[in-house]
Structure 1
């Protein structure tokens, strides 16, 4: 997996009915700005990326995104977001001496 800083501007819902199956579908796409370092140079990319169902309700903001490649419906390899963590937010760590089972009496 590859981590990148991703600024989500808004999430757009697209929906319709599949021509082949007649089933309804929904796709949530994030309009975003991606900041990455390429050969020591900061690069800014602006565009959209589809979100997995478990991330479709995210708020606008800055995130640290995990990406992995997946195969699209037409056989192309495309990056997919696998997880998002708020950027710049400290991660909770257990207190020193805290362990499974709690403190001894």
Structure 2
């Protein structure tokens, strides 16, 4: 699994009916800016990446994105986001157990 800082600009929903099966389909894509270092120099990449259904309601902002590779319908290996953590905000911690006297 790979982790990158990712700025989500907006989430777009594309949907339709499959010609072959007649089944409805829906794909959620995030328009993003990815900043990475290449040979010690910053590089900005702008593009879209598909989101899993669990992340379709993602709000615009900065995230720490976890990626894993999956096989596309065409047989290509493609990265997909597996989780998003808000960037710069502390992760929620469980409350400590109450002490009883």
TM-score, normalised via structure 2 length = 0.91
The residue aligned with 1:21 is: 21
CA displacement 1:3-42 (0-9 Å, x = unmatched): 1111111111100111111100000101110111223222
Task: For 2:41 and 2:76, locate their aligned partners in 1 and report how far apart those are by CA, in whole Å.
Answer: 28
1:85 aligns with 2:79: no
Task: For 2:85 and 2:94, locate their aligned partners in 1 and report how far apart those are by CA, in whole Å.
Answer: 19
Give the aligned CA root-mean-square deviation in angstroms: 1.5
Task: For 2:94 and 2:54, locate their aligned partners in 1 and report how far apart those are by CA, in whole Å.
Answer: 26
Any gaps of 5 or more consecutive residues in structure 1?
none
Note the 1:20-39 alignment, pairs <5 A: 20-39=20-39
Any gaps of 5 or more consecutive residues in structure 2?
none
Task: For 2:83 and 2:37, locate their aligned partners in 1 and report how far apart those are by CA, in whole Å.
Answer: 20
SS in 2 for 1:31: strand
Task: For 2:93 and 2:14, locate their aligned partners in 1 and report how far apart those are by CA, in whole Å.
Answer: 38
The residue aligned with 2:63 is: 63
CA displacement 1:27-59 (0-9 Å, x = unmatched): 010111011122322211000001000000111
Task: For 1:18 and 1:69, locate their aligned partners in 2 and report how far apart those are by CA, in whole Å.
Answer: 25
SS in 2 for 1:54: helix
